[in-house]
Amino acid sequence: MRESNDKSWFSEWEEELPSPDELMPLSKTLITPDLARVFDISPLQREVSDHLQEPVQSPFPVSAAQFADSGEENARALKRPRLVWTPQLHKRFVDAVAQLGIKNAVPKTIMQLMNVDGLTRENVASHLQKYRLYLKRMQHGLSSGGGEGGFISVAAVDSAAENLFTGSSVPPYLLRPNSDHFLPFVRVPANHHQQQMAATCHLPVGHFRSVPNGQLEHPLLSGQIQRQLHPMEPHLQVRGMESLEMPSSNASNGGRKILTLFPNEDD
C-alpha cells in the first residue's frame, strides 16, 4: 500500500542507529575484568584438554570460587555451581587414586595430587564415594572367571545388563549414557604384552548376522558410535563394529555370544 515515500523515514531511522563501535560486541563478556579477578574467573576458560602435567583449570562452567573479597556475608551467599565430572577430570581422579594406592587414596590426598583449580575436598569425597560403590559392584559382579586363552569368561554378569540384553529391548546404557546400569569390566590379555580393560557382555546369538568382512553385526550396536558405557569408565565406548570381537572358541555358551568392548586409544 504505502510504498512511495518510505525512503525518508527509513533514512532518518537509519541515522539514529548506533555506530558500529558504539555497539557492544556479541562476544564481549558481561563480567567486568574487576569482577572476574575478584571471583577468580578466568577470562578465556581454556579447554581442559591440557597437556599432561599441567594443572587443570577450574572445571566449573563459571567458577565463582574464592571469596577473597573484603569480608562481607556477601561471600557466604554465593554458591558455587555443581561440579561436573568430565572424562578429563575423572581421568585425573582415577590416575591419582591408582598412583596413591588404596591406603592413601583419601579425599584430601587425591585432591592434592589431582591439582585441579577450584576442586574441593568435598567434591572429591563425594566422587570417591560413588567410585567405591562402582568398584564394589563391579567386583561383586564378576567374582570368578579364570580367563586365559584370549578371553575371559565372565561367570556372573550384572543382572540388569543380562536381562536387558536377553530381552528384546534395547539396553538403556546404550541409549542413556547416564544410566547406572553398566557392563562388567574385566582385565583382558591384550594381543601382545600388556593387559587392558575391557567390557564384556553376553548377547543373544540369534540377533547377530554375519557381514562380508567376517565381523558380526548386531541390531543393538549398529549405528551406536562413540557411546559411553558407564560414567565411571568414560574411556570405554562402543565404537560401532570396530570394537566387536568374537571368540570362536567360546561361540556357544548357552546360546550367547560374548561381546568384548575395548577402550579408545586416544587420551
Partner DNA sequence: CGAATAATAT
Partner DNA sequence: GATATTATTC
At 266, list the grid cell: 586416544
x/- mask, DNA, residues 146-185, rule CB under 7 A, reads --------------------------------xxxx----
Check residue 127 for interaction with DNA (CB under 7 A).
Answer: yes
Which one of 9-17, 78-86, 192-200, 218-226 is the stretch in contact with DNA (CB under 7 A)? 78-86
**Could you tell me which stretch among 18-26, 49-57, 73-81, 235-243 binds DNA (CB under 7 A)?**
73-81
Say whether residue 63 binds DNA (CB under 7 A). Answer: no
Burial class (CB in 10 A: 0-12, 13-18, 19+), 98: exposed
Query: In Å, how far are 81, 138, 156, 159, 261 from 144, measured between CA atoms?
Result: 42, 12, 8, 15, 20
Q: Who's near 170: CB < 8 A, 6+ residues apart?
A: 164, 220
Does 81 contact DNA by CB under 7 A?
Answer: yes
Q: How far is the CB of 262 from DNA (least distance, A)?
A: 21
Residue with cell string 568430565: 86
The reply on whether position 92 binds DNA by CB under 7 A is no
Give the three-state DSSP class for 135: helix
Asked whether position 140 contacts DNA by CB under 7 A, the answer is: no
- Tally of CB atoms within 10 A around 155: 13
Cβ–Cβ under 8 Å, residues 99 and 129:
no
Span from 22-30, 115-123, 142-150, 161-169 in contact with DNA (CB under 7 A): 115-123
Q: Would you tell me which residues interact with DNA (CB under 7 A)?
A: 79-85, 106-109, 121-123, 125-130, 132, 178-181, 231
